[in-house]
Structure 1
Amino acid sequence: MITMTNVTKTYKSGDSETYALKEINLTIGEGEFVVILGPSGSGKSTLLNVISGLDTVTSGKITFRDEELTDLSEDEMTEFRRRHLGFIFQQYNLLQNLNVYENIQIGSDIGTNPLDIDELLQKVGLENARNKYPNQLSGGEQQRVSIVRSLAKNPDIIFCDEPTGSLDEQNSKKILQMLQDLNVAYKKTIIVITHNTGIAEMADKVIKMNSGQITEVIINKVKKNAQDIVWG
């Protein structure tokens, strides 16, 4: 689905050059649950940004199926993200003056083949909250709304940047279990960026990073359910 070939990202400051990514070679398959793991400053967020086209590469090539993303113009990349990608962040980014259904509809309206909002709400246990406003929900419930908003437009890939970073262990595992269930139910490719080593136990593929390079790729022959992972 996604292939990265010799991808490098550098930043220049005066005469000095810093490598955020260095010669990354990586393949992510259709429907995989992928965890990108590494400490702060390891390059994992930069990797997410260049895969998703939120940032450009300095050199190298990224392809999605048969489309070379590194050849697209800024407008073409924006259209690609609209058609194919969903994003979930640590912050929920819900609009406070809209109820749950209306917040999700924002995501649904930009999709070319959106999923049914009420069906999604039922899958994540929020069918009774469709008319509530964000300030009437817990943190875990708000994150579930943000996940449904991302999924509603029916993207091929969902990028999750520290999606449980502001939640406690109990709510974090509920969110991760939901992502795992949605990965199975809708066959979506899910890419999670985290520094939490426990989350790697539930992935198909674990990509370990340090100093802008991939240090190890692990294929989990046996995956754990989110509720059973070791937290921390």
Structure 2
Amino acid sequence: MITMTNVTKTYKTGDVETYALKDVNLTIEEGEFVVILGPSGSGKSTLLNVISGLDTVTSGEIIFRGETLTNLDEDEMTAFRRKHLGFIFQQYNLLQNLNVYENIQIGSDIGTAPLDIADLLEKVGLEKARDKYPSQLSGGEQQRVSIVRSLAKNPDIIFCDEPTGSLDEENSKKILQLLQNLNEDYNKTVIVITHNLGIAEMADKVIKMNSGQIKEVTLNKVKKNAQDISWG
């Protein structure tokens, strides 16, 4: 699905050149649940940003289903993200003046083959909250709304940047269970970056990063259910 070959990303300040990514080679298969682990500054966020086209590479090649993303211009990349990608961040980024249904509809409206919003709300247990506003929801409920908004346009890949970073263990595991269900029920490729080692236990593929390089890639022969992973 995604192949990265010799991908390097550098930032230059004056005469000083810093490597955020250095000679990264990686393949992500269709329908995989991938967890990217690493400490702050390890390059995991940069890796997510260049895979998703939120940032450009300095050198190297990224291919998605035969299309070379690193050859696309800014407008073409924007169209690609709109069609194929969904994003879930630590901050929910919901519009406070719109209710739950209307927030999700923003995501649905930009999809070419959107999923049914009512069905999605039922799947995440928020069907009774469709007319509520974000201020009337708990943190866990708001994160579920942001996930449904991302899924509504029916993306091929869902990128998650520390999606449980601001939640307690109970709500975090509910969110992770939801992501696991989306991966299994809809065959969505899910890529999660996190510093939480426990989340790696539910992944198909675990990528460990440090100093802008992939240090280890492991495949889990047995995946844990989100509710059963270690925490803390």
1:154 aligns with 2:154: yes
Residue of structure 2 in register with 1:21 after alignment? 21
Structure 1 runs (4+) greater than 4 angstroms displaced: none
**Separation in structure 2 between the aligned mates of residue 70 and residue 136 of structure 1, nearest angstrom:** 42
Shift of 1:16: 1.0
1:204 aligns with 2:204: yes
> Mapping of 1:42-121 within 5 angstroms?
42-121=42-121
1:41 aligns with 2:41: yes
**Separation in structure 2 between the aligned mates of residue 225 and residue 92 of structure 1, nearest angstrom:** 24
Which amino acid is 2:35 matched to? V
Which amino acid is 1:146 matched to? S
SS at match of 2:216: strand
> Mapping of 1:152-191 within 5 angstroms?
152-191=152-191
Shift of 1:118: 0.3
Question: What is the total number of aligned residue pairs between the two structures?
Answer: 232
SS at match of 1:5: strand
Which amino acid is 1:193 matched to? I
Which amino acid is 2:110 matched to? I
Which amino acid is 1:213 matched to? Q
Shift of 1:14: 1.0
Residue of structure 2 in register with 1:128 after alignment? 128
Question: Which ranges of structure 2 fall in alignment gaps of 5 or more residues?
Answer: none
SS at match of 1:221: coil
Superposed CA RMSD: 0.3
Question: Which ranges of structure 1 fall in alignment gaps of 5 or more residues?
Answer: none
State the TM-score, normalized to the length of structure 1. Answer: 1.00
Residue of structure 2 in register with 1:137 after alignment? 137
**Separation in structure 2 between the aligned mates of residue 150 and residue 84 of structure 1, nearest angstrom:** 11
Identity %: 86
**Separation in structure 2 between the aligned mates of residue 180 and residue 44 of structure 1, nearest angstrom:** 21
SS at match of 1:222: coil
Which amino acid is 2:46 matched to? T
Residue of structure 2 in register with 1:215 after alignment? 215
Shift of 1:80: 0.1
**Separation in structure 2 between the aligned mates of residue 179 and residue 155 of structure 1, nearest angstrom:** 13
Shift of 1:20: 0.2
Post-superposition CA distance 1:73-103 (Å, at most 9, x none):
0000000000000000000000000000000
